[in-house]
Amino acid sequence: MIWEERFGREGVSLPMFSPDGRSISIPRPESRDRDAMWVYETATGKSRLAVKFTEPFQMYFRACWVDDGRALVVNRYQTISHVVLLDSFWQKQSSQ
């Protein structure tokens, strides 16, 4: 299966597969000084907003999956770079 999503002129950073290959993380710009982290299901292409920031936050390069695919580490770009851990963004699975 091949899925495609067009991102317009803003561009995206390098996508990264999760350790289990089920998800792809993509930092995407929301405005000139603020990015957001999106996660895509590899099987369907379905996307969801994983992390949205309330203050200026620009990510540099790509996000790396850590903690067995439950968190992401990004390089936050400001005057100097900062490494930031993004966790607790996953959705609870409903028990059926």
Domain ranges of the chain: 12-87
Long-range pairs of 77-81 with CB within 8 A, sequence gap ≥ 24? none
Given this model, what pLDDT does residue 9 score?
A: 64
Q: CA-CA distance, 26 to 46, in Å (whole number)?
A: 13
Q: Which residue has the higher pLDDT, 62 or 90?
A: 62
Q: pLDDT, tens digit, for every residue of 68-89?
A: 888 888 888 776 666 677 776 6
Q: CA-CA distance, 54 to 42, in Å (whole number)?
A: 28
pTM of this prediction?
0.72
Which is it for the CA torsion 85, 86, 88, 93, positive or negative? negative
Q: pLDDT, tens digit, for every residue of 5-60?
A: 776 666 666 789 999 999 999 888 888 888 888 999 999 989 999 988 888 888 87
Given this model, what pLDDT does residue 21 score?
A: 93
